[in-house]
Amino acid sequence: MSHPAGVTLPRTVDFGQRPMLVFWEVTRACQLACRHCRASATPDALPGELSGAEGRDLIDQVAGFGRPHPILVLTGGDCLLRPDVFELVAHAESRGVPVAMSPSVTPMLTPEAIRRMVDAGVKAVSLSLDGATPATHDGVRGIPGHFDQTIPAIRSLVGAGLRVQINTTVMRRNLEELADVAAIMADTGVDIWEVFFLVHVGRGQATGAITPLEHEHVCHFLYDASHYGFTVRTVEAPFFRRVVVQRRAGGAVPPGEPYAALRARLEERLGPPQPRSTAHTAATRDGKGIVFVAHDGQVYPAGFLPLGLGSVRDRPLAEIYRDHPVLRRIRAAEFGGRCGRCEYADLCGGSRARAYADTGDPLAEDSACVYQPAP
């Protein structure tokens, strides 16, 4: 498929052969019960969780993709509630597999735990921040005082020298605070701001999604935010990459709200933008460059796409990733509707998780995108 002028894709990794990111839900256990939790996490580990030996075997399977090895992201639940999590990190380190961790901000995230992450060679750590005020963040998380625990935790991780990513889920209740969240990114010195766009799975069924036009406005705002020294990327909004290409080519910004207010607030808080954008535009999507292994070894295209592909207990992860017919069609951009006609189909490809949530078809068009492809 041809690409619009200015579209460049990284060719260093063949996403048909290996993912860039393997997410492993090491446990469903978590002390939080956040309203938009993909995992619908529970206080205790669920039966059927991969054992320590099975976990080490999974890490060996990730190493089996060959070099460059995918990054293994240990997520949950709360990965710190898995008792052998640092033994798993050590095993990955011994196999040359880079590891990132995604803990929850709980009493488990101690200075000692942070030191162990550094000593174990963890490459990056991600935390969630879903508002710029205690009222908003605590309201989303469902835990009073959680905002006032999260900001010091971010500073501690940055201060320890770890590469820190902050995850923010966009929803009705925090839409107007996004520029102030961006200011927190700049103030705390984090490396990456990863912005999640809601897909209705797990407890996310109950949260307030924004409209497709508001999605477009937020993507334009995020392009502006990428000029302040931290990398910006999106989850389940690959059309952000289309917006980045359009803006870099001199494309117009959308008129009206909420974009105008967000941009004005961003410049009020952080001053004029730097010339260079650090928007992330690698052409990955659910099942292309990304794969998710659940706590029980079941494999999915991504954490928000509950379409089972098989189990690592039965087949090697590389075999599932490379050969599953649905993943092959996703990587070939064999989409229906507007996504199938779109000149950005390979760069973007739409949220396969949202298509599946809306229609039951992971190859359908993404309802959150407003773009109309050229005839």
Tell me the pLDDT tens digit for each residue of 43-91.
666 779 999 999 999 999 999 999 999 999 999 989 999 999 999 999 9
- Amino acid 12: pLDDT: 67
3-state secondary structure (DSSP) of residue 359: helix
Phi and psi based region of residue 365 (left: phi greater than 0; alpha: psi -120 to 50; beta: remaining): beta
- Tell which CATH architecture fits domain 21-285: Alpha-Beta Barrel (3.20)
Burial class (CB in 10 A: 0-12, 13-18, 19+), 196: buried
* pLDDT, the chain, mean: 92
Spatial distance between the Cα atoms of 364 and 370, rounded to a whole number of angstroms: 15
* CB neighbourhood size of 47 (10 A): 7
Tens of pLDDT, residue by residue over 167-190, are 999 999 999 999 999 999 999 999
The domain locations on the chain are: 21-285, 333-375
Tens of pLDDT, residue by residue over 195-251, are 999 987 654 454 688 999 999 999 999 999 999 999 999 999 999 999 999 999 999
Structure token pair of residue 368: 């959150």
DSSP-derived letter for residue 202 is: G
